[in-house]
Structure 1
Amino acid sequence: MPSLDPELKKAIVRMPAGEKDKLLLRLITKDPLLTERLQFELLEGSATTVERREAIKQFINRTATLKQDSPGWVMMDMRTASGYITRHVKVTKDKYGDVELSLYLLNTFYDHHMDLLRQYTSRSDKAAQYIAKRTEQLLKKLVKLDPDYFIEFESDVNRLLARVHNSCAAYYARHWNVPQSWST
């Protein structure tokens, strides 16, 4: 992002308040993510964080229960749901929710599609890579949280790790040194 010319900065600061407000409002509407973030921070005051998480969990459940016929389609659905999680984190800065929702996403898709994700084949390669990488990223984010939260995630993380190491993602999990178990 290019920086503003110092003279332009000074000129903007000297603008009348009403003119600056109009300009600011016009600029904000051009960025939907910024608009949503301001809505969350200024109007909702983080009171809706849990509701937003629940809405994403419902979306994950609906998406995971779709009948898929290949690991590729499962991965595409996971990526779509992951996009919702990413947007949630950009809007709310909810690091706990990022870990919780990512863990929920992976475990829920394993719950509904283990038959497609069990065995490594050429058709499951991309999904295997995606799952192993997501798991690796999840673990990196998890250790950055306050250790008091670890107990809440321990059983779900270990369930996920067992699934990852006993499914199509096992090769990539070993390659990226994803542990087979995790403890607090």
Structure 2
Amino acid sequence: MPAVSPAFRKAVKQLSDKEKEAIILKAVRRDSELYDMLSYELQELTLEEVYEQSADKIHELLINASGRSLAKALTKALRKSQKEIARFKRVTKEPKSEIELHLYTLRLIFNNFTGQFDSYYKGFYTASARLLLRTMQLIRKNLHEDYYLEYKSELDDFLQQVHSRKKPLTVALPQEFEVD
């Protein structure tokens, strides 16, 4: 994204309100993410509504994954889910809700698709382990220590399920989520 020059800022300030409105409306028609961002900023959408939209999309992506190789289809759906979480983060800038979406995705995976971890195609298993590691890193980075206990049992259960498989991983996962 290009840096905004001082001349551009000056030109925007000189536009009338009607011209600014026309430009904004044209931009949001072209970019759905910008529309969602403005809707959220203008409080037309609440955090809960944006969260629900993202959670529904993630649920739809993972549950409706199908193809000749379910593990490959799930890997692709998981990649799209992570993009949806990144989109949610750009729209809301809410770290706790972002982590909740990560955990929602992990719950869907571990409640419905752990059988695919044993597939010959190990991409889904690896992607799930990476998502688990990323979630733990986000919790440590963005949340206060008091939240660690809230998530510990669930994360430990996910870690135990990953470690119970005797498949090698390219990422190093701890045995448990450590609370300092």
Instruction: State the TM bucket, normalised to the shorter chain.
Output: 0.7 to 0.9
Distance in structure 1 (CA, Å) of the matches to 2:9 and 2:55: 44
* Aligned alpha-carbon RMSD (Å): 2.7
2:42 counterpart residue number: 42
Percent of pairs with identical residues: 23
**1:62 Cα deviation (Å)?**
5.0
- Paired position in structure 1 for 2:126: 129
Query: CA offset at residue 55 of structure 1?
Result: 4.6
SS of alignment partner, residue 44 of structure 1:
coil
Q: 1:131-179 CA deviation, whole Å, 9 max, x = no partner?
A: 22212211110102122222221111111111222237x522xx42221
Contact conserved, 1:28 with 1:34, CA < 8 A, in 2?
Answer: yes
1:181 is displaced (CA, Å) by: 0.4
Residues 120 and 167, structure 1, Cα contact 8 Å, conserved in 2: no
Residue of structure 1 in register with 2:104 after alignment? 104
How far residue 8 of structure 1 moved from its aligned partner, in angstroms, is 4.1
- The CA deviation string for residues 84-136 of structure 1, in whole angstroms up to 9 with x for no partner, is 3222222122211221221221232122122221x363x22x11221222122
Q: Any stretches of 5+ residues in structure 2 without a counterpart?
A: none
TM-score scaled by length of structure 1: 0.78
String of CA shifts for 1:40-91, please: whole Å, max 9, x gaps.
Answer: 121236xx32344345445545555458553212222323333332222221
Bigger RCO of structures 1 and 2 (CA < 8 A, at least 6 apart): 1
CA distance in 1, matches of 2:65, 2:24: 46
Aligned to 1:32: 32
Tell me the secondary structure at the aligned position of residue 43 of structure 1: coil
**Corresponding position of 1:162:** 160
- Is 1:143 the counterpart of 2:140 in the alignment? yes
Aligned length, in residue pairs: 176
Q: What runs of 5+ residues in structure 1 fail to find an aligned partner?
A: none
Distance 1:153 1:54, change over 3 A: farther
TM-score by length of 2: 0.79
- CA distance in structure 2 between the aligned counterparts of 1:66 and 1:22, rounded to whole angstroms: 39
